[in-house]
Amino acid sequence: MLLADHGTWLFVPAAEWNCDVVGKLHALAIAALAIGLVRLRNEERRGHCAQTWQLGIRHLALGLAIVSSALLVWFPAQAAQPLNMAAVLQLASTSVALVFSYAHSRHSLFPSDVLLVYWLFSAIASAAQLRSYVKHSTDALDIRMLTAYVAYLGASLVAMRAEATPRPSEPYIHLADTDDDKRDPAEQANIFSRLIFAWATPAIDAGYHRKHLDLEHLYTMPQELTGDQTNIKFLAEWAHSKTQRSSSLLRIMWNGTWRDIIWSGVYLIVSVGSQLLQPLLLRKIITFFQVYGTVAGVSLDDGLVLAAAMGALGLVRAMAFQAHWLRLMLPFMWVVKVLSALIFRKVLRLSSESRSKHTVAEIVSYLSVDADRIALS
């Protein structure tokens, strides 16, 4: 709604604008799910699970979402209304999500970040569609359309909850001999748990209830940051660089850390963007209090949406900023591991005469202090 008297607008999107945005979001979701399917085929299988109640509830929610999406396409067509492309794309994305969910359950033991994000945005988009349908409907509400919107919203929330629920290890058929107790819990956590660091809660509880912590209470290093893995990856990159015309240590370091650096930049952009949007949203909240009760069409639910959006922006800003710093530290740790391994290999190859020129303290300083300084620079 555009409030010309006040020179601003409130978050009351029109039905056409809402359908256009929701349709584009579902088109992007189809592309993301398709890319996820391709990557899933290239990953190593970690295990699969027989039919459990969690898997059954998830597939039941997916079936309900597909049926409700099909009804949202069928009901307007039956009433000779224009085809709702947003509902068509929603039906297509939900069908692809069903295929992805089945493939993921046969492939991996852990929750899918792609499905969790998909169901979150599907629930938000469905809630926006439901609100727009109720608010902008000029005729009497069609109970069938209203039921289909509510069913899809409920199915999205149930599917997201079922996907995020930790899965028991007993019914799973492990395809690799792995020790779950020694695995880093962050590798098993879903995307929301990693963003709010919920996977670290057991360690915090252990530190609170125990007077002393032993080494067994601490989490292990992520597998990709262990000394042997980083060294193997670096040596493979170094051997490959020797076959090229020019070999550069800086290029090898970039090849090992570019993903974390780029993701750190993405999280920083999201954090800064959320920070810049908050004053704009605050202005709309102030405008809402100025015009509430005096301008037709401005209701209490508009203010509730604005307040929820302000809280969501603050939460996104905090999580993205913390994820930025965490991602930024991963390249530093990788470089330190590589440099320490190189220095250690060099020390092992020193002759007795060369080793006599360096004390043990100097060698330890090379392994720790100097490697940290080079990585920080």
Residue 238 pLDDT exceeds 90: no
Token readout for 339 is: 């440099």
What pLDDT is stored for residue 371 in this prediction?
A: 64
Residue 228 pLDDT exceeds 60: yes
- The one-letter code for the residue type at 159 is A
Rounded to the nearest 5°, which phi and psi values hold at 149? -60, -45
Rounded mean pLDDT of 218-247?
Answer: 74
Give the whole-angstrom CA distance, residue 265 versus residue 259: 10
Rounded mean pLDDT of 114-130?
Answer: 87
Rounded mean pLDDT of 349-356?
Answer: 74
13-33 residue pLDDT tens: 444 545 667 777 778 888 888
Q: Given pLDDT bands bounded at 50, 70 and 90, which one contains residue 11?
A: very low
Give the whole-angstrom CA distance, residue 172 versus residue 26: 32
Q: What is the DSSP letter of 180?
A: G
What pLDDT is stored for residue 251 in this prediction?
A: 79
- The one-letter code for the residue type at 274 is S
Token readout for 203 is: 């360690």
Q: Given pLDDT bands bounded at 50, 70 and 90, which one contains residue 374?
A: low
Where would I find the H helices in 165-248? 185-188, 191-195, 201-209, 227-242
Q: Which residues contact 306 (CB under 8 A, 6 or more apart)?
A: 10, 11, 281, 284, 285, 288
Q: What is the DSSP letter of 356?
A: T
Give the whole-angstrom CA distance, residue 282 versus residue 287: 9
Ramachandran area for residue 337 (φ above 0: left; ψ -120 to 50: alpha; else beta) = alpha
What is the pTM (predicted TM-score) of this model? 0.73
303-346 residue pLDDT tens: 888 888 899 999 999 999 998 998 888 888 888 777 777 777 77
Rounded mean pLDDT of 200-208?
Answer: 79
Residue 272 pLDDT exceeds 90: yes
Q: Which residues contact 270 (CB under 8 A, 6 or more apart)?
A: 316, 320
